[in-house]
Structures are given as structure tokens and as C-alpha cells.
Amino acid sequence: MAVTAAVIGCGNISRFHFAGLERAGARVKWVCDLQEEAAWPWAKHFGARYTSAYRQVLADPEVDVVHVTLISSLHKQLCLDAIAAGKAVVCEKTLSERAADSREIVAAAEAAGTVFYTSYMKRYIPAMAKAKELLPSLGRILTTRIQTFQCWGDLWEEAPTAGFFATGADGRSEVVRRYGGGVLVCGGSHILDLVLFLLGRPQRLYATQHQPTGLDYDVQATALLETDHGVVHLEALAHPLTRIGFLDDGWDERLEITGTAGRIEVFSAAWDQVDHKASKLVHYCEATGQATEYRFGPVSPFDRAIAQFCAGVEAREQLGQSRLTGYEVDELIEHIRRSAGRHEALTVAWQL
């Protein structure tokens, strides 16, 4: 039986959830947004009902899963209400703006036995999935380098006076209002999830952040993370360079894991261009002295993630990804900020 879904929030990211649900064969019964003009095209496309009141969605016994695609500051109450209503939940990242709130959400899902996913889809990029498969071939892992360098324009020399990254009349930028932070939250959250996916939870970290004068968000975040599989060198950077990266488009996101028996290098495309840009993995094997290159065609990791989420909802099992994923990333974000502010290394105080 097909999963019956509701999507709450029809902003930019929702289009990937709608596409993934459609390709997974799910039935979209409800589309919810305060702005009817944003929701109506999707409601029309799926023959779905529209409402501006999310509690109306939660009251529908036919709804199996709720996709929460609102801004992060609105996630907590909606997720808690959906869990209480007995719905499975797929929530966009970041799960919330505070680790304590994320902990409360996933603890409620754990206690209720709710199928609950935070939509960190980059672990579903084909090259990342292949990296996970090849990890045992590397022997003892010695060191990892992972970065997301994203072209946001030149925010380093002069604060913008208009647009998404400019400080508004209330002293807040749109990027902070919508997402709760700068490059650490918007880009670094995904690569922190990849660290968790590939190497497990870090035990200690030391971090730095750079926030230019006149901005209310960071444009650079770096961290050294101690894991059971060596030290991870992590960096998230907002930069003005338009032609760097393996596709020469300003997006430079890559992973390098070196072990005693080999190395893996992964290169991935911009998150919102995955339907027409590819990913690549290079695997070097010390035993053979050969490097093998894997090139993957454009495949949406959103589609792959949502297909697995739907399978979990249908089976009523937490398949492929822990309920704790969103909390784990938010706990690391909070520790990175704290370490950078104090200029000291911290032991990660995992609460769940």
C-alpha cells in the first residue's frame, strides 16, 4: 500500500520532497502553507487538499507521514505535535536551532517508537554511498579531510546592503532568520552528518569561526574532530570564487579519507543541481598500486533518501538512518560554536 503523505511548508526546498514522494509512488493528500499561492500549484499537481492549519493535517487518520519543510525555528512544535498525533516524520535540516530542542524532539520520537528522519540527503549521493562501501578496504583510517566551499559572493571585504545576506532593519539577515546561522549551519551541517555517517561520533573537537564586521553570521568554520577512526579536518567556507571546484562552477565540496591500505576521494555537485550534475569517487589501492575512478551520473539524493524514508514508513521501521541524526548534528554545531567562542578544545557532551 502506498504511503499517504502531507507536506507542511512550500518554500524552495519542498520541491525536492514533492519530487521524491512522487517518484517513490507516495500519495500526497495534503499541502500546507500559510501562503496559499505557494501551496496551490503543488495541491493542483497532486490533486491534494490545501490548508493553512497544520493541525488539520495531523487530525487526518489517513496521513502516514508528515514532511516538515519549514524554516528551522518552526520545526520543534510541529514535530512534537506530529509525533503526538502518531505520524511518522521527515524533517528538513537543521532539526532545530538548539541542541536541547533537537534532543527533546528525538527523545519524544524514541519514546513513541515513531519513524523519524532528519533529511540529511548527502549520505545518499551515489559517490558517498560508494565511499561507505569501500571504507573497509582502506585498512586503518589515519586521517580525513572534508570541506564544503560555497560561492556566496564577497562577504569578506564589505557587508552587503541588500539581498539574502544583508542585515535587515531589525538587525538580522535573511539567512539567519530562515536557517539560524551562516555557513556552518547551511553547509557545515551536511558535512558534519557525513562525518557521523562514515566515521561515527567525534569525542573531542577544537574549532574556529570567522564572522566579518557588520554580519550576523559566520562565513568560515573549521574544526578538528577526534573520532575512533582518526582525526577529521573539517572546513565550511563562504567564498567569492566562481570557477573553483571539480565542475568549475564555484562549488567545491570534497572528501578525502586516507588509510594504511588506500585512499578515497569524493567530489560532489551543488545540492540544488543534483538533477543535472554528477558526483565522482577515486579509490586508490596500495596493494595493487592502482587508482580506480567511479563517475556517477546525475541522480537526486533527495529521491534516494525519500524512497528509503517511504520504505521505512510503510514497514513501520527506522530503516537506514537513526532517529538521532538531527540531534547529533545540532549537538556538534553547538560544540563548534562554543569551542570557537572559548578558543579551547572541548569533549563532546553527548546527551543521547
The span from the CA of 17 to the CA of 23, in Å, is 10
CA distance 33 to 170: 25
Report the distance separating Cα 327 and Cα 349, nearest Å.
12
CA angle 303, 321, 180 (to 5 degrees): 80
Residue indicated by cell numbers 509525533: 83
Q: For the whole model, what pTM was predicted?
A: 0.97
Mean pLDDT taken over the chain: 96
Report the pLDDT value the prediction gives residue 22, as an integer from 0 to 100.
Answer: 98
Residue 132 scores a pLDDT above 80: yes
CA–CA distance from 322 to each of 62, 73, 119, 328 (Å)? 25, 22, 11, 10
The mean per-residue pLDDT over the stretch 249-265 comes to 98
Residues 6 or more apart whose Cβ sits within 8 Å of residue 30: 5, 6, 7, 48, 49, 50, 51, 56, 57, 60, 63
* Distance separating alpha carbons of residues 2 and 310, to the nearest angstrom: 9
> What pLDDT score was predicted for residue 158?
87
Q: Is the pLDDT of residue 71 over 80?
A: yes
pLDDT of residue 1 exceeding 70, the answer is: no
The alpha-carbon radius of gyration of the chain (Å, integer) is 20
pLDDT more than 70, % of the chain: 100
- In this prediction, residues 25-42 reach a mean pLDDT of 97
Task: Give pLDDT tens digits for 285-341.
Answer: 999 999 999 999 898 999 999 999 999 999 999 999 999 999 999 999 999 999 999
Quickly state the pLDDT bin for 25 (edges 50, 70, 90). Answer: very high
The arithmetic mean of pLDDT across residues 57-83, rounded, is 97
The amino acid at 288: T
Residue 171 pLDDT class (50, 70, 90 cuts): confident
pLDDT at 156 > cutoff 80:
yes
pLDDT at 287: 98
Question: For 40-66, what is each residue's pLDDT tens digit?
Answer: 999 999 999 999 999 999 999 999 999
pLDDT of residue 29 exceeding 90, the answer is: yes
pLDDT of residue 274: 80
Confidence band, pLDDT 50/70/90 cuts, at residue 276 = confident
DSSP 117-161: EE--GGGGSHHHHHHHHHGGGG-SEEEEEEEEEEE----SSS--S
352, 351, 315, 323: which is closest to 119 by C-alpha?
323
Q: Set out the domains of the chain in order of their start, with CATH numbers.
A: 4-120 (3.40.50.720), 123-302+331-347 (3.30.360.10)
Q: What is the mean pLDDT of residues 226-252?
A: 97
Cell of 87: 505520524
